[in-house]
Structure 1
Amino acid sequence: MRLQKVLAQAGVASRRVCEQMIDKRRVEVNGKIVTTQGMRIDPSTAVVKVDGMRVMITEELVHLALNKPRGWQSTMLDELGRPCVGDLVAERIASGQRLFHVGRLDAETEGLLLLTNDGELAHRLMHPSYKVQKTYLADVEGVVRRSVDRALEAGVTLDDGPVRVDAFSVVDAFDKSTLVKIVLHEGRKHIVRRLLEHVGHPVTRLVRTQIGSVHLGDQRPGTIRALNRQEVGALYKEVGL
């Protein structure tokens, strides 16, 4: 297996960043600094180090779906002691698994968050060039009119640049609020909340229900499940792996 792929799967970094590490002579295999790209190694026997620290190589990839509760931080450790994703996978981390979350949800946003130890998959799922769609349900203030749908799908300009949703629809309408569904592949900070506030409908509750082909379904808040083979295969296919 190529060295940069082994490093990425071990959770060191994305494959591209691992290649940069090799170029900078930061990686060694069996006591020798690697100076060229494309080196093939046997993950079951090779001793690999980055910056002098051994990388624990495992061929067992982990792919998990978490329903992040509202009020929890999308971090593995919170310096202020607030509830965070790391608390929910503490036993896995203590046993030696190196997990990281694919993207973030702000504290007040709940719903689907993917966890994996495959660095390259995580990198591609987060990178906008791969256009992996994320689906959200949002309770917003006010009655959403058809003009909002057209504006969001045509594109609006925020303070950090233009953005256009992939799909937008009204799910249910009430006297003073509306439940909407929004699909986009952007990953900018607070993008859904900023978009909806920009068109005059501040968000009161936001739930991510889908990433690519993986659905949240009826998974309860705070619970974690392993993705099945079909879901994992579909994610790899979506990002060209």
Structure 2
Amino acid sequence: MTHSTPPTEKLQKVLARAGLGSRREMEGVIAEGRIKVNGKVASLGDRIEMRDQVTLDDRPVGLRSVDDVPRRVIMYNKPEGELCTRKDPEGRRTVFDRLPRLKGERWIVIGRLDINTSGLLLFTTDGELANRLMHPSTEVEREYAVRVMGQVEKQHITAMTDGVMLDDGPARFTDVQEFGGEGINTWFHVVIMEGRNREVRRLWESQELTVSRLKRVRYGNIFLDKRVKLGEWVELNQDEVDDLSAMAGLPKRAVPALTPNEQKQWKRDRNKRQPVQGIRKAGSRSRR
């Protein structure tokens, strides 16, 4: 009689699925020596079984199978001046400060925006969904409304769509459309397939042009909802989550309904949000 070997998975993947953060964040936690597996300090590259005993800072971690992870997604309209980090040593506001609280889960940001960029951010409780949507191989379109200072010529657009060499490799826009305005206050909509640091700004800077306002308006097939005011969030419905799941190559999963206590908590969290100073509205494109 033969016995099959229990399946193993990468440690950071299992930790992300446990709701502790993204895979990248978990890689950092492992590198810091804060994770133990069966009493021994874990290392990057370790693989584990679901029956292993895992601790973070000597506190037990509840491991979960893929099917046990709830797949919630919320859309957040990020204001300028907020950081895409959980905590800031300088005490500056982060995008996580305004989100509804979860019990036994953790919001994971799908992609990031720099401190001076506003607009669409997606958060999920499903680490695998977040990882796949952020991975370059998935090739998810990100669309931005951009206000550019300087005289934009046809050759600038051609160069940025053909591709330019940045410090960290080649980059290009897959689409650039002028969207109104005059002189140094001209708005464009651009589409990019990656989420590298400040990539949109750096592409314009390669043409000696300056971005004075930058707002993400679309991630994949999810558009920034006009009903979501600056600094507010809304939970995506089943169809929208199914679309994201399909884009990530994951099977559909029912979005769990909020319990009555969760509904009350989310309502309190929404009402406690602090007002945000408004900014002039960027042009919006119709859904394609």
One fold, TM greater than 0.5? yes
- Which residue in 2 is equivalent to 1:193? 201
Alpha carbons 1:143, 1:174 under 8 Å: kept? no
Q: Distance in 1 between matches of 2:23 and 2:79?
A: 28
Alpha carbons 1:171, 1:179 under 8 Å: kept? yes
Q: Residue 50 and residue 240 in structure 1: after superposition, are their counterparts in 2 closer, same or farther (change >3 A)? A: farther
Alpha carbons 1:102, 1:125 under 8 Å: kept? yes
Alpha carbons 2:84, 2:95 under 8 Å: kept? yes
Q: Residue 37 and residue 205 in structure 1: after superposition, are their counterparts in 2 closer, same or farther (change >3 A)? A: closer
Q: TM-score, normalised by structure 2?
A: 0.68
- Which residue in 1 is equivalent to 2:140? 132
- Which residue in 1 is equivalent to 2:125? 117
- Which residue in 2 is equivalent to 1:98? 106
- Which residue in 2 is equivalent to 1:84? 94
Q: Residue 79 and residue 96 in structure 1: after superposition, are their counterparts in 2 closer, same or farther (change >3 A)? A: farther
Q: Post-superposition shift, 1:14?
A: 4.2
Q: Distance in 2 between matches of 1:113 and 1:168?
A: 21
Q: How many residues are aligned here? A: 220
Q: Distance in 2 between matches of 1:37 and 1:194?
A: 38
Q: Which amino acid aligns with 2:93?
A: P
Alpha carbons 1:149, 1:169 under 8 Å: kept? no
Q: Post-superposition shift, 1:38?
A: 9.7
- Which residue in 1 is equivalent to 2:70? 60
Q: Which amino acid aligns with 1:223?
A: E
Q: Which amino acid aligns with 1:72?
A: E
2:240 to 224, 231, 238: 231
The alignment's C-alpha RMSD in Å is 2.8
Given the alignment of the two structures, is residue 142 of structure 1 paired with residue 128 of structure 2, yes or no? no
Which whole-Å deviations, capped at 9, do the CAs of 1:74-106 have from their partners, x for residues lacking one? Answer: 1121121111112112x515x443112112111
Which whole-Å deviations, capped at 9, do the CAs of 1:108-153 have from their partners, x for residues lacking one? Answer: 1000111112111111111112111100001010232222221111
Q: Which amino acid aligns with 1:233?
A: D
Q: Which amino acid aligns with 1:213?
A: N
Q: Distance in 2 between matches of 1:37 and 1:198?
A: 42
Q: Residue 96 and residue 38 in structure 1: after superposition, are their counterparts in 2 closer, same or farther (change >3 A)? A: closer
- Which residue in 2 is equivalent to 1:222? 231
- Which residue in 1 is equivalent to 2:262? none
1:180 to 188, 211, 225: 188
Q: Which amino acid aligns with 2:170?
A: P
Moved more, 58-67 or 119-128: 58-67
1:148 alignment partner, SS class: helix
Q: Which amino acid aligns with 2:82?
A: W
- Which residue in 2 is equivalent to 1:71? 81
Q: Post-superposition shift, 1:27?
A: 5.0
Alpha carbons 2:73, 2:125 under 8 Å: kept? yes
Task: Structure 1: state its 5+ residue gaps.
Answer: 29-35
Q: Residue 72 and residue 14 in structure 1: after superposition, are their counterparts in 2 closer, same or farther (change >3 A)? A: closer
2:200 alignment partner, SS class: helix
Q: Post-superposition shift, 1:226?
A: 0.7
2:161 to 120, 135, 153: 153
